[in-house]
Amino acid sequence: MNLKQLKAKGGIVDGALVKKEVTWVHADPVTGKDVTDKFNVHIRRQSFGVIERLFAPDEAEQSRNAKYIAASVFLGEEGAETLSYEDAFSLESSLGFAILTAVNEANGTGKDQAKN
């Protein structure tokens, strides 16, 4: 897969809002009986790098894992296309974690070391 294909398949988060329905069961303040409210919220999808930053204890300036991915991952049939830090940072979160797992395995830092 090359970078253009990755972007076309939604591999890079664009920050568009996603409409989601929320169901909230809570006690009515007047009657004390449970009531159910349903309403819509708009969720901004977060990229791999943003999620990592949100949970980083030191509030790092840059994503360590996005830097690691950008330095390690090459795309395209021959592996000639680089992945910039910005694109690695903007990866869809499940894709970012999947790629990070592959990087860790290839470097012998994951639970399964690469054979080659």
Is residue 74 in some structural domain? yes
What is the tally of structural domains in the chain? 1
Closest CA to 48 of 96, 99, 107: 96
Residue 111 included in any domain? no
Is residue 59 domain-resident? yes
* CB-CB contact of 41 with 35 (8 Å): no
Least confident interval from 8-12, 13-17, 47-51, 90-94: 13-17
> Residue 49: inside a domain, yes or no?
yes
**Residue 99 pLDDT:** 92
Q: Which residues does 7 contact at the CB level (< 8 Å), separation at least 6?
A: none
The verdict on residue 114 lying in a domain is no
Place of tokens 């920050």: 15
Domain that holds residue 90: 3-106
Total-model pTM? 0.61
Confidence at residue 104, expressed as pLDDT on a 0 to 100 scale: 87
